[in-house]
Structure 1
Amino acid sequence: MNHTYRALVIHAAGDLRIDQRELPVPEPNQAVVAITHGGICGSDLHYLSHGAAGQSILREPMVLGHEVVGRVRSAAADGSGPAVGTPVAIFPATPCGHCRECLAGNGNVCATTTYLGSAARTPHTDGAFADLYTVTSDRLLPLPAGLDLRIASLIEPASVAWHAVSQAGSVHGKRVLVVGAGPIGSLVVAVLKRAGAAEIIVTDVFERPLRVAAELGATSTYLAKDFHPEDVDADIAIDSSGSAIGVASAVRGLGRRGHLVLLGLLPAGEQPFLVSQVITRELTVAGSFRFHGEMPAVIGALADGSLQVDPVVSHAYPVADAHEAFAMARDSAASGKVLLTFGASVSA
């Protein structure tokens, strides 16, 4: 197989290009996937704006993208994995598989995990914002017939949300505060709704994400400037804002012996935190980082209709219009999840 294909490559801060790449000859256990849709994530935006995502610093050109779905174009020669034409989601992480955390089923916190479209290690791990992507067949999750690939592109971020809700324990019948209603926060609302939360209170700095949260099941929504967290008395608070101000609001919104889940990724280094309130009100705190085994459950819930996520997607652009797509994705007041579409340009 000798093909060239388009890939969306970040070369440096502000330098995003569509490059031509040559498809490598697949190993026997590798399939080639024709990517159809990919969601722009906050980390993709950070690489474009700053040349880094947290402590992951861009040192060489890298293909972006880890929220991707497509169809198998060439199946693995060894017979493993799905057949040609099968719609699939790609599991974006490669944990080491043998450390203590991996053996305990917690590969999301494996210290040496690589992740699609990540500059955490050198050489960087290319992502899959491309017409074609070669991947070991064990990282392909077949999708049910009839599942819209546009919606299926939310499987990865919905798995992040699903994991965060699982970090809260049982939410059935509980009052839950969600701070930050961007795409991940909105997906948290959808997962909470499915899990039977009795009240879902959401706050954000913009009106549009609050309207989306209401469509997904929020029982009340508040602009941050009008929100008084001390009046909430929540059983559980999930911060997806990734800001110290948002975390403080989540802490203040909890009742005594409440549970805080920190999902939004704050900048590296020391951050202010209301430790005295955690102590005197006996709050418990859990981090939530990516996900590990949640993708099959998310796929099932999307397929049976019990997880409704449609309003999260706000825009879709062909990859040729990637700069316009990234500009829209940066505008949190005007957009939710912004998708790229692929597949128009592959040559022999």
Structure 2
Amino acid sequence: MHQKTVNAVIVNAAHDVRCEPRDIEWSDDQVLVRVERGGICGSDIHYFQHGRAGMSVLKEPMVLGHEFVGVIEQAAANSSLKVGQRVAINPSQPCTQCALCQEGKQNLCRSMRFMGSAQFFPHVNGGFAQYVAVNPQQCVPYGEKADAKIIAFAEPLAVCIHAVRQAGALTGKRVLVTGAGPIGCLVIAAALASGATEVVATDISERCRALAEEMGASAAVDPRDEVKTSMWAENGGHFDVCFEASGAAMAVSSLVAFTRPGGIIVQLGMGAPEVNYPIGPLLVKEVQLRGSFRFTSEFTTAVRWLEQGKIDPLPLLSAEMDMHEATHALELASDKERAAKVQLIF
């Protein structure tokens, strides 16, 4: 085993995040990556604000971060990876042995060890550190000409590509995206890249609506504007596919009315634990409700799309800050009126 002391962004409890040294260990079968930068995600913000993300509760200090890229410092034995290669890191570590993994549904693995998650104890440390040890299969190399700040969007984009695939073919479809945060905006871009002809977004934030249009939305509407939204419910519903990316109870329950008979709703926003849902209209319109959680092979697809310029995520990049400013960065990322995506530099 090898050992190294590195600085890392560690959450100890709600509102207690520190940049401090910790020891990491790795074997010859693992890869040591020098982290370049990483994006702050909603789950990082939840750990910072509440000491938990959903049902995952902090029980010990944990390194944050699962959206990060770096350079290989030490390659694994018997792998094709090379020192100096630039890589995006897939934070997923499924067991690979269970029935779900064997079916190609690794994102649903009940034993998934996801980096920067407190779901299990001991917790799985994330990638917000100067160096991190990962498995070779987590590393997706990308070209020298690509910008690290763009490739750092691979993980959230993978979530969105998976959601788009859950909806099936989008060519020629009319699409609604509720919630225009970073995920909603990347869903807009992924839907357009997948052939959707009309993509409309909703958000209560004027700033988020402006970002949605910058990411390609044909219109961005305040969901409280009943004059506009009521038109979407006429003649049984306007949209072929709706992506719910906010998790807000009102947004979740509104989509059945806006979806045409036989249409599809993809739920990827997490938020309200309970929703008063219109089951009757869902049933009589034969609307299909599909969940979307994380990703499988879409991570590599996301790296390639970003590398090729198929999607430009940079309108979402609000700030770049040093790892030692992590608390300030998390506070900024928590304010959707000031920031969409904040990246830390290591």
TM-score normalised to the size of structure 2? 0.95
Quick check: 1:81–1:138 contact (8 Å CA) kept in 2? Answer: no
Does 1:259 pair with 2:258?
no
Match of 1:245 in 2: 250
Instruction: Tell me how far apart the structure 2 counterparts of residues 15 and 120 of structure 1 sit (CA, whole Å).
Output: 19
Which amino acid is the alignment partner of residue 74 of structure 2? S
Q: Is the 8 A contact 2:88 2:303 kept in 1?
A: no
Match of 1:235 among 219, 236, 240: 240
Q: Paired residue for 1:5?
A: 6
C-alpha distance in structure 2 between counterparts of 1:306 and 1:218, whole Å: 16
Structure 1 unaligned blocks of 5 or more: 343-348
| Partner residue in 1 for 2:333 | 329
2:304 aligns with one of 278, 295, 300: 300
* CA–CA separation in structure 2 for the residues paired with 1:338 and 1:186: 15
For 1:179, the equivalent position in structure 2 comes to 178
Task: In structure 2, list runs of 5 or more residues that go unmatched.
Answer: 233-237
CA distance in 1, matches of 2:29, 2:231: 56
- For residues 131 and 110 of structure 2, the distance between their equivalents in structure 1, rounded to whole angstroms, comes to 29
1:42 aligned partner: 42
| Structure 2 counterpart of 1:157, one-letter code | P
Q: Give the structure 2 partner of residue 282 of structure 1.
A: 286
Equivalences for 1:78-89 in 2 at 5 Å? Answer: 78-89=77-88
Q: Secondary structure at the match of 1:44?
A: helix
Equivalent-residue separation in structure 1 for 2:157 and 2:129 (angstroms) = 22
* Superposed displacement of residue 267, structure 1: 4.2
Q: Tell me the alpha carbon deviations over residues 161-209 of structure 1, each in whole angstroms, 9 at most, x when there is no partner.
A: 0000111111111100000000000000110111111100100011112
Please tell me the residue identity of whatever aligns with 2:11: I
Give the alignment of 1:16-165 within 5 angstroms.
Answer: 16-24=17-25, 26-76=26-76, 78-165=77-164
Residue type matched to 2:148 in 1? L
Cα distance in 2, alignment partners of residues 38 and 89 from structure 1:
10
Partner Cα separation in structure 1 for residue 93 and residue 306 of structure 2: 24
Equivalent position of 1:271 in the other structure = 275
Asked if the contact 1:229–1:252 (Cα under 8 Å) also holds between the matched residues in 2, the reply is no
**SS state of the match for residue 218, structure 1?**
coil
Cα distance in 1 for partners of 2:306, 2:8 equals 28
Letter paired with 1:245: M
Q: Secondary structure at the residue paired with 1:21?
A: strand
1:81, 1:140 within 8 Å by CA — same for their partners in 2?
no
Please state how far the C-alpha of 1:331 moved relative to its aligned partner. Answer: 0.6
Indicate the residue corresponding to 2:235 in structure 1. none
Identity %: 38
Displacement of 1:271 = 2.9
Shift of residue 81, structure 1, vs aligned partner: 4.1
Matched to 2:150, the amino acid is I
Q: Specify the alignment match of 1:345 in structure 2.
A: none
Greater CA deviation, 61-70 or 309-318? 309-318
**Partner amino acid, structure 1, of 2:285:** R
Q: Deviations over 1:11-46 (max 9, x none)?
A: 11111111101232x211111101111111111111
Structure 1 letter corresponding to 2:113: T
Return the alpha-carbon distance in structure 2 between the equivalents of residues 241 and 271 of structure 1: 13
Aligned length: 339
CA shift, 1:145, in A, is 2.0
Aligned to 1:220: 219
Deviations 1:190-230 (A, max 9, x none): 10111111100100011112111111110111122225434
Superposed CA deviations along residues 66-92 of structure 1, whole A, max 9, x for unmatched, are 00101111112x131421111101111
RMSD: 1.3
Query: Which residue of the partner structure matches residue 209 of structure 1?
Result: 208
How far, CA to CA, are the matches of 2:328 and 2:195 in structure 1?
Answer: 38
Is the 1:230–1:252 contact (alpha carbons within 8 Å) kept by the matching residues of 2? no
d(CA) in 2 for partners of 1:247, 1:89:
33
Partner in structure 2 of residue 15 of structure 1: 16
Structure 1 match to 2:323: 319
Query: How far apart in 2 are the matches of 1:140 and 1:186?
Result: 26
